[in-house]
Chain A
Amino acid sequence: DIQMTQSPSSLSASVGDRVTITCRASQGIRNDLAWYQQKPGKAPKRLIYAASNLQSGVPSRFSGSGSGTEFTLTISSLQPEDFATYYCLQHNSFPWTFGQGTKVEIK
């Protein structure tokens, strides 16, 4: 199975900060990676697909990069509505696996 190691597990940041979250795959997954945002009591919302493609309707302050084993989600200027938990998902091979999640909290 492919393990997805996501870091950090949590972070505190202020509105306007630049935030970076990383996912590392235990083996190469090409660009078969998506990023999701989840708010309490809500379904996950896809932000990025194919590692670097912005989902339609998602603000351009979100961006993704990487290929192979190292991936990054960046929020260029954190907004109040961005405080949530973020997950990566590898869909290169079964079983699909999620990162452990990164909770972004208000500083």
Chain B
Amino acid sequence: QEQLVESGGGVVQPGRSLRLSCVASGFTFSTFGMHWVRQAPGKGLEWVAIIWYDGSKTLYADSVKGRFTISRDNSKNTVYLQMSSLRAEDTAIYSCARENSKYGLDVWGQGTTVTVSS
């Protein structure tokens, strides 16, 4: 069964850092691009970042560019999101998702909650 499981969320003070992890199982992780998407409390979905299947390229939403870094370790079937200089507006549920060729995101994790508060 294809599955994504996130971890690493928590409560963090503004300006601090946090690293999220997403472990994949049930499919050949190294052949898929991976994304992070977030959802602030009571709000809609916001795309955050993508990393190519081989890690060769990354792209970010303007709202996180320069503060967040997406990376992956294909030997561990894991994608990461390093978040720094966190702000209150980064408070959200962060989910990883698999990109299926040219057809958008087809497999999603349940998400991990990040709360930025003093």
Give the interface of A toward B (CB within 8 A).
Answer: 1, 32-34, 36, 38, 42-46, 49-50, 53, 55, 87, 89, 91, 94-101
Contacts and interface: CB of A to CB of B under 8 A. Distances in A.
Given A44-B45, A101-B44, A101-B45, A94 B104 contact: no
Interface of B is mostly: strand
A1 B63 CA distance: 13
Nearest to A94: B59
Interface of B: 35, 44-47, 50, 59-62, 95, 99-100, 102-106, 108-111
A97 B106 CA distance: 15
10 contacts: A43-B108, A44-B105, A44-B108, A45-B108, A46-B105, A49-B106, A89-B104, A89-B105, A91-B104, A96-B50
Contacts of B46: 98
Nearest to B110: A43
A46 B47 CA distance: 15
